[in-house]
Structure 1
Amino acid sequence: MERSAGYLTLLGLLLGLATTLPNKDDWDIYSFHINSTVTSRYATTVITSRVANRMDESKEIEFHVRIPKNAFISKFRMFMDGEVYDGVVKAKEQAVRQYTEAVSRGQSAGIVSSVGRTLEEFKTSVTVAAHKKVTFELTYEELLKRRLGKYELQIHARPMQPVTDFKVDVNINEDAGINFIDIKGGLSTKDLANAITKTETAKQAWIYFYPTVDQQKVCDSCSDNGLNGDLVIFYDVKRDASFGDLVTKDGYFVHHFAPSELPRIPKNVVFVIDQSGSMHGRKMQQTRVALIHILADLAEDDFFGLITFDSEIFHWKRELVQATQKNIDQAKKFAENIQDRGSTDINKAVLEGSRMLNAHPREDSASILILLTDGDPTSGETNPERIQANVRKAIAGKFPLYCLGFGFDVNFEFLEKMSLQNNGLARRIYEDSDANLQLQGFYEEVATPLLTDVTMMYIGGTNLTQTNFSQYYNGSEIVVAGMITDNDIESFVPEVVALSRNSRVTFSNPNATTGTASVDRIQRVWAYLTVKQLMEKELQLSGPEKEKVEKEAMDLSLQYSFVTPLTSMVVTKPPGEDSAVLNKPKEGGSTLPSVPHVGSSGRSHSVASDPGLRHHQYSVSRKAPKLNDDMDMDMDMDGAISMTDMMMPYRPKVLATISSIAATDAPPTQRFLLRPANVSLPLCFDLSATNVKLLHQTSRGLNINGEINPEENGGFRSIVINAQSDLSIEVKTTGVTVKEGQTSTHYSSLTQITAGSVTVIIQDKDIDVSFGDVRLVILGHEISGRKFLWPVFRQLPLDNEAAGVLAANLDYEEKTGAASTIKVKGQAVTVSRSTATDYSVPGPITVDCWLLSVQEAFQRPSSDFYN
């Protein structure tokens, strides 16, 4: 459970958590990228790590990735010596059989998954020949879950060495509109805050984290070993309609329902607290602290009950009482004196809590039962199935049961099944210093019921995900996906019926939108939700029904290449190396299959039965034949640089875009965008030129110029960087040419080039150029089959000597009371409203801007920007 003030586990991508753990003396991680795209709350995150073996002998190189527990890995690939090695998702029994066969042949094979607090960890390795490279690429997907009024994308970075080319790129696209966005976490503090760029429009946001090598050593938990911490992105969408957002496309739909302008429903809540001997010490102390805070947050129209239990039951009051200040103060004193003792009779305690709620029927209210325990039932009725049957009969669907399992000794699957059978959920409370905050945070999620008996109806819909919900809480969200029969949108009628505080309410909206999400994305949301809910259903069943649901979930997982608890990914490797098997564990269960493992002693034992491995990563070393000695790039690009899904700048002072070009001999016209902090809209201006001075820094002999493409949509056909007297670097869509003196070398595939004091990194999506304190990214776009370049500075020179159209650093101010007047260096300039297309973001977007002339924008003649 996270802090109530901050964390919503996308439980929301991150975003994603990624870690590469090398021996930094042997390996060079020269590029590490995390790229997360969120469309309509569905996050797809791609982690790419490029590693070089700089040694004179073969080395085993490892790749670690940590991802949210709710995410499904959907793709894994390795690139070596021009070959691609793909992971293949199979039914778990097939993958385990492959693992067993490898062990029987005396080979070592890795089961590479483990359980953490909010994460799962994937690890694999491959042997890389001397002076060779490998690229790892992993993709995972997750539907972000709204909690306490926000979504969360969390990214953890721990590469264990500073990385020259380190990037985190996040693009959020919400048709409903973005209400707010915030960035927190240890990687947003100190000097690292300067490495974060955030750009927003009404419906999109871009967050870019591009720390320099020096910045990667300065966070609270960072050191000379590089980054070690979290980048956490919180956001929410605008909610103008109570019906929510309904997106349809090509026979599929997704409905996000989260009304907020509703009266709060008073609640009846009973807390059932384990005080058995195993709760001794910090567990008990933290429970007391949390309970006291929770009691203080009860509203006066709430009714509550409080019981503790071990082998016996202890009531504060035998019936529910109103949450008056007097009653709350008395209940706090009771909570302060809870002492651990005895064994654990969960059956008796939960049945007593159910009795208290059943004995207190109240119209226009919502009842909730919350159980906190840290152990298995050890007294009274101890058979889990009989306890579950007793509780299900006592509750009879009238209210939800939430089970909080404290620590790892608890039988979490037992609690999870009991919660799901009674319209609730189970949550693990981790034995950390903030356990009391985890408890408080969970309570906040259910503290404000707004609707009960929610029924989501879709006439003309089929293959629907869950449509009935016992309660809807403020700050949460209900998501339903499905198919539209025969894609007949005219006959598709969605409607929501529920009970509010004083009446039965109906929500309807005939105006569904097609939105910007692709049909593939909507299908994957439907598949993701369906698999999740089928696995919850499977947990509650037995016999043939259980097998049927398992098969349905597994087939869907295989169809969409999801690594779920029912499937595994076989990670293929070069000839001579063993495959590894990636499993997704169930919460609280073993991460490893019960198959023989040959240990270092040569004796076999069951990995899953080894308690020392139950909640930890297991890996083994393996050797591969030495690869050939010919130096080769880790990915072939067919002689051209593919540049799609481009990135935003590190610190964008200037963004640029292209206006239409007339088919004449006149110089092409290019429209640039400036984004001053104190102006409501970007500024835009047109510059007619063929060769443009982008940045000139005379003191260090640095000149960067661009040649405009005269065709429609413009862009740059080439960008030339002249550094020092004898070094020239020319970038085109077909590659990079480096001239040092009389020597000229052309590069057209992934590589890193060091020429003098300039470093050029050619990647599959962009080209990075670094020269001292200057960092330029050259992006690429393709429109109607035509490719062109676009330059954006991530880091401008620290001094004020630089000149050029992309080196502007002026003061702009919107004149108060006159939105059509801008002050530039103190001079008032009249502007008009216009639009421009911004090519410095992934996928061009049209933005509104204040149009002025280039002379007015810079208070200098336009000829100063011609080369």
Structure 2
Amino acid sequence: MERAVVQVTLFGLLLVLASTLPNKDDWNIYSFHINSTVTSRYATTVITSRVANRMDDSKEIEFQVRIPKNAFISKFRMFIDGQWYDGVVKRKEKAQQQYTEAVSRGQSAGLVSSVGRTLEEFKTSVTVAAHKKVTFELTYEELLKRKLGKYELQIHARPMQPVKDFKVDVYINEKAGINFIEVKGGLSTKALANAITRTHADKQAWVYFYPTEDQQKTCDGCGEQGMNGDLVIVYDVNRDTSLGDIKTSAGYFVHHFAPSSLSRIPKNVVFVIDQSGSMSGRKMQQTRIALIHILNDLAEDDHFGLITFDSSIFHWKRELVQANKKNLESAKTFAQNIQARGATDINAAVLEGARMLNAHPREGSVSIVILLTDGDPTSGETNLEQIQSNVRRDIADKFPLYCLGFGHDVNFEFLEKMSLQNNGVARRIYEDSDADLQLKGFYDEVATPLLTDVTMIYNGGTNLTQTNFSQYYNGSEIVVAGQITDNDIETFTPQVVAISRDRRVTFSNTNATVEYTGTDFDSHVQRVWAYLTVKQLLEKELLFSGPEKKNVKKEALELSLKYSFVTPLTSMVVTKPLGEKTDVLHKPKEGGPTQARPSPVGHRPSARTRNGKTRLLAHPGSFSRKQHKRYQNKFINY
């Protein structure tokens, strides 16, 4: 007799199971709470779901939540029959061994899967006895990133049924003072608007979201299965000093640097646009729309170039020109007539973009290359490492390269490594109706450079995160964390040196007192340092090879284990009552041809991706060991 599968879905569910959903009368989510505390832009979120089995026999309760992709899960536990069962973070190899043993017994392992632009999914299950209850509690942590002058805390909810005790509590504490706070997202409008309470008092803010059962049925995107949408808490902080906001605690510090009232620096930008055959249709149409909007936003003291490429390179003009009205109109006409065709010669195109910038040096300006492509190189030089070497040689650290990977067939890891090698970032553009807005949104983030060659200096500091940044853009923020040598705040002196539009500038404030926030060893300041350090070590691992790669991987692993972060190097082993299967849950890796590529510790049979959504064709527990092996061999591990 098959066991019924009861699904509890928090933070949304886009998975479609081959089996039908259980009868709602079998189970009851009687309490669903999300508590998020944000202290100095570092958010710790706890999801607590309480579920009752109404039936006269045992049922398997499946728990699924969505969390931000930039977050690290740091704790998970279940409360059953008066006892807590805790998840334990282990190195991936040890978790792999446990997974293999589970498979050999015909059991299935869980996973954390990538399900969209900003969210990924955590999943596990447990058997609950007749008329018994289970409590699930998940904690994750993330450093909120400032974009376009604001921070965003995203909460997505689809509990699959109206919940009597449904609460979202958000508390924000910013010592610098909160400049503004807004609540947006699909769950903040119309029928649910009066379920939201927002309070703002100088350095603190509270947001409460308490929808009634009736509201959960009648709002937009709601129905008999409850809510389906998101809340986005948007805010920014006051910025009183040019040096920024510095907090210290228990020998650690975190420095948020985002100076305002600076003159924008004119830019030289070359857009390198893939027009190969795979860009045909909506991709090309959206690219044309985005380009025209971007061209409209160029300032008259900017200079720009426009290249399209397939197996050949096509210039609008062979040299950079001023963004005056005449040139912009001509460029927009060129953009409107871009047609998709041919193969993909990424190497020649990016090198030509670098050549145009190198041939056009301007005192008091900054240069940028923006590449948009949707595929692998198929023409000219196709060796990925050779392309990366060629690009690095020609750019020579003189300007950043930003790579935008359009769609899910793009080799994102190749683009990410090439961007990191050249002081830029890679961003995936999703094939949705708003892809043109995604392209325009990314450009807006780098549209207004304010500083270049930014060096963060901390006399009396050690074990620092990244301290050198090629450019600082309006609306963004530089965050550095580290340890204070011998915990001696008296000798700790921060300073920032950079180049503005026309001169070298130094940011310091000798009269300011670095704020001391407490003595708790496990304070948020120390965890910000650990979070940033792990993130940056994982980027370095992508760039390095040989002994250097091994060393940074080892350091990232040690920190992940020490702070119980589920990262690409670690997995969470979910312990359960005696006789229950043990799940091994991993963090997916952004990159590769699909979003749903499984890792060695979380194979998911017959999963496909389309438009950023994972479709699960069969539950892993329904496969025999022989079938599981066949699917296991079919997939590629990363």
TM-score (norm 1): 0.68
* Aligned pairs (5 A) from 1:541-620: 541-589=544-592, 591-594=597-600, 600-601=623-624, 602-605=626-629, 607=631, 610=634
- Looking at structure 1, the residues matched to 308 and 394 of structure 2 have their Cα atoms a distance apart, in angstroms, of 19
* Aligned pairs (5 A) from 1:417-816: 417-510=417-510, 511-514=512-515, 516=517, 520-589=523-592, 591-594=597-600, 600-601=623-624, 602-605=626-629, 607=631, 610=634
Distance 1:20 1:577, change over 3 A: farther
1:61 is paired with a residue of what secondary structure?
A: strand
Q: CA deviation at 1:110?
A: 2.6
In 2, are the aligned partners of 1:258 and 1:476 still within 8 Å (CA)? yes
Distance 1:49 1:67, change over 3 A: same
- Looking at structure 2, the residues matched to 255 and 17 of structure 1 have their Cα atoms a distance apart, in angstroms, of 31
1:224 is paired with a residue of what secondary structure?
A: coil
Does residue 327 of the first structure (1) align with residue 331 of the second (2)? no
The one-letter amino acid paired with 2:552 is V
In 2, are the aligned partners of 1:17 and 1:154 still within 8 Å (CA)? no
Distance 1:92 1:149, change over 3 A: same
Distance 1:314 1:20, change over 3 A: closer
The one-letter amino acid paired with 1:458 is Y
The one-letter amino acid paired with 2:249 is K
In 2, are the aligned partners of 1:594 and 1:607 still within 8 Å (CA)? no
Q: Which runs of 5+ in 1 are unaligned?
A: 1-15, 616-867
* Aligned pairs (5 A) from 1:187-336: 187-336=187-336
Q: CA deviation at 1:40?
A: 0.2
Q: CA deviation at 1:609?
A: 5.5
Q: Which has the larger radius of gyration?
A: 1
* Higher deviation after alignment, 329-338 or 103-112: 103-112
2:25 is paired with a residue of what secondary structure?
A: coil
- Looking at structure 1, the residues matched to 633 and 343 of structure 2 have their Cα atoms a distance apart, in angstroms, of 27
The one-letter amino acid paired with 2:462 is T
- Looking at structure 1, the residues matched to 14 and 303 of structure 2 have their Cα atoms a distance apart, in angstroms, of 51
* Aligned match of 1:135: 135
In 2, are the aligned partners of 1:242 and 1:261 still within 8 Å (CA)? no
- Looking at structure 1, the residues matched to 352 and 37 of structure 2 have their Cα atoms a distance apart, in angstroms, of 48
In 2, are the aligned partners of 1:113 and 1:582 still within 8 Å (CA)? no
2:573 is paired with a residue of what secondary structure?
A: strand
Q: CA deviation at 1:594?
A: 3.8
Q: CA deviation at 1:55?
A: 1.1
2:576 is paired with a residue of what secondary structure?
A: coil
Q: CA deviation at 1:116?
A: 2.1
Does residue 370 of the first structure (1) align with residue 373 of the second (2)? no
* Aligned pairs (5 A) from 1:41-120: 41-120=41-120
1:549 is paired with a residue of what secondary structure?
A: helix
Q: CA deviation at 1:242?
A: 1.1
2:515 is paired with a residue of what secondary structure?
A: coil
- Looking at structure 2, the residues matched to 241 and 205 of structure 1 have their Cα atoms a distance apart, in angstroms, of 22
In 2, are the aligned partners of 1:50 and 1:133 still within 8 Å (CA)? yes
1:599-638 deviation per Cα after TM superposition (whole angstroms, max 9, x unaligned): 7253343656646x999xxxxxxxxxxxxxxxxxxxxxxx
Q: CA deviation at 1:338?
A: 0.2
In 2, are the aligned partners of 1:608 and 1:614 still within 8 Å (CA)? no
In 2, are the aligned partners of 1:89 and 1:568 still within 8 Å (CA)? yes
Q: Per residue, is there more helix in 1 or in 2?
A: 2
- Looking at structure 2, the residues matched to 182 and 334 of structure 1 have their Cα atoms a distance apart, in angstroms, of 40
- Looking at structure 2, the residues matched to 393 and 20 of structure 1 have their Cα atoms a distance apart, in angstroms, of 43
- Looking at structure 2, the residues matched to 162 and 210 of structure 1 have their Cα atoms a distance apart, in angstroms, of 12
Q: Which runs of 5+ in 2 are unaligned?
A: 1-9, 16-20, 606-619
1:317-348 deviation per Cα after TM superposition (whole angstroms, max 9, x unaligned): 00000000110000000000000000000000
Q: CA deviation at 1:490?
A: 1.3
- Looking at structure 2, the residues matched to 516 and 92 of structure 1 have their Cα atoms a distance apart, in angstroms, of 35
1:345-368 deviation per Cα after TM superposition (whole angstroms, max 9, x unaligned): 000000000000000001110100
- Looking at structure 2, the residues matched to 318 and 240 of structure 1 have their Cα atoms a distance apart, in angstroms, of 45
- Looking at structure 1, the residues matched to 190 and 517 of structure 2 have their Cα atoms a distance apart, in angstroms, of 37
What percentage of residue pairs aligned between the two structures are identical?
A: 77
Q: CA deviation at 1:250?
A: 2.2
In 1, are the aligned partners of 2:253 and 2:481 still within 8 Å (CA)? yes
- Looking at structure 2, the residues matched to 512 and 607 of structure 1 have their Cα atoms a distance apart, in angstroms, of 60
- Looking at structure 1, the residues matched to 631 and 95 of structure 2 have their Cα atoms a distance apart, in angstroms, of 16
Distance 1:376 1:606, change over 3 A: farther
In 1, are the aligned partners of 2:286 and 2:436 still within 8 Å (CA)? yes
* Aligned match of 2:6: none
Task: Provide the aligned C-alpha RMSD in A.
Answer: 1.8
TM-score (norm 2): 0.91
The one-letter amino acid paired with 2:52 is A
Does residue 347 of the first structure (1) align with residue 347 of the second (2)? yes
- Looking at structure 2, the residues matched to 135 and 121 of structure 1 have their Cα atoms a distance apart, in angstroms, of 18
The one-letter amino acid paired with 1:181 is I
2:397 is paired with a residue of what secondary structure?
A: coil
Q: CA deviation at 1:30?
A: 0.1
